[in-house]
Amino acid sequence: MRRDRIAKGANDIREALNAAQIRELLRAVRTGQGSEDGTRTVRILKSYKEFERRYHEFGDQEKSLVLSLGLGPLLEAEFWCGLIDGGSAMDRKVLSDVEVAAYTLIFVMPKLSEFLSRETGEFVVSDARGRDREISSLRVFVSEKERSLTDPNIVVGLIRAMDKLYKALAVLHGEKDINMAIGSIDSGDAKSFDFFGASPIVEEIDALLAGVWDWVKYASEDNLLYQIELAMMASGFAMRVKQAQANVNEDDAQRATRIVAKSIEMLFRCGGYTEAMDAPRESRASRILSPKGRTLEIKEKGAEIEVEFDEARSPAGHSTVPAGRSISPAIATPISGMLGNVKEGFEGEMFQAEEAAAA
């Protein structure tokens, strides 16, 4: 589980515990306070109902955290029945463990979350000329199965694609002072990279990737680049390039456009996606871009950790065709992650651009 998911999940569980007044309730039962109060049963039932309501609103990761943090007894009816009976028939160790877990989550986890949290959003920095500039972050994920091992070429390709995409758009923006940088890297159920850069460019990348993805998510490998170019035109990118020609010459603008398209192609072939691309919808990027075939997956067996092959996926084969959708033979070829071919054309374009710039 990634750090941001742990911090968010712990915060959601803490809010549920506070709303249900779990810690106060457990302390009262342990010390025998209010045992003669006729409203004690009503109070316990209200706490149970509130915690149950909050629990059903949790996602899978929050529910997993509840068990991992030792709050599992709160999900058992027998535990609450024991509280109503005054705790006399309850295992005192279980009651103590739950109370300690609740205390830790309410008072200790907020401090730990400060160490787990990462700086994201918008910031003001000084560029090379000493001017105050706004920079923003964009989180890019690698689509893969939980606990899988990632081919290094996938990571290299993803970072390179984002770097070239940013540089190409920087040409159109006339941006020469702020380069893209990686602020943080995280892993867990998925790997993620936080890219930082000039706010106008980062915002355009986020919008452009989401717009292109909606157009090409069912495209085949054979015509993926062509579909990306069509999507860029449909999104008004051609007009955007014409406007940029006031600052750059036509050849540089056209070269930047080709690099943008090839960068997006490589990013998608590497399984890269953003939060906007993976927003709840019929077909989510994290699922469509998941590789298929053989790869290495870490699996726990007792106290040992074994590395085994997972037949369901591989870092070298991505499919944009969702499961269960019939595709005609003419376009049935998936986005296969043929990174070598894409990389050759991609680096050839980069080399020509660098040679032209040096000239």
What phi, psi does 291 have (nearest 5°)? Answer: -65, 160
Six-digit token pair at 338?
């043929």
Claim to verify: residue 88 and residue 143 sit in the same structural domain: no
Q: Does 70 lie in the same domain as 202?
A: no
Closest to 45 in 3D by CA, of 72, 78, 84: 84
Residue 250 pLDDT class (50, 70, 90 cuts):
confident
93-107, 133-147, 292-306, 316-330: range with lowest mean pLDDT: 316-330
Same domain, 244 and 339: yes
Domain boundary among the residues 49, 84, 116 is at: 116
Instruction: Compute the Cα dihedral for 232, 235, 236, 241 and give only its sign.
Output: negative
Q: What is the DSSP string of 123-173?
A: EEEE-TTS-EEEEEEEEEEE---TTBPPPHHHHHHHHHHHHHHHHHHHHHH
- The last residue of one of the domains, among 94, 116, 138, is 116
Kindly tell me if the per-residue pLDDT of 203 is higher than 60: yes
**Does residue 98 share a domain with residue 148?**
no
What are the angstrom distances between the C-alpha of 21 and each of 48, 108, 117, 289?
10, 17, 26, 43
Mean pLDDT, residues 67-91 taken together: 83
For 67-121, strand residue ranges (E) read: none
Instruction: Calculate mean pLDDT across residues 68-75.
Output: 89
Question: Domain check: are 42 and 132 in the same one?
Answer: no
pLDDT-based confidence at 49, cuts 50/70/90? very high
Q: Give the end of a domain, one of 71, 98, 116.
A: 116
SS3 196: strand
| Amino acid identity, position 228 | I
Distance CA 196, CA 49 (A): 44
| Co-location of 129 and 102 in the same domain | no
pLDDT higher than threshold 90 for residue 283: no
Are 298 and 167 in the same domain? yes
Same domain as 187, residue 127: yes
Higher pLDDT, 68 or 113: 68
Give the structural domain span for 164.
Answer: 122-358
Q: Which residues contact 174 (CB under 8 A, 6 or more apart)?
A: 244, 247, 248
Is the model's pLDDT at 321 over the cut of 50? no
Same-domain check for residues 244 and 137: yes
Number of domains in the chain: 2
Distance CA 170, CA 61 (A): 38
Selection from 140-154, 155-169, 213-227, 234-248 with the highest mean pLDDT? 155-169
Give the burial class of 265: count Cβ atoms within 10 A of its Cβ; 0-12 exposed, 13-18 middle, 19 or more buried.
buried
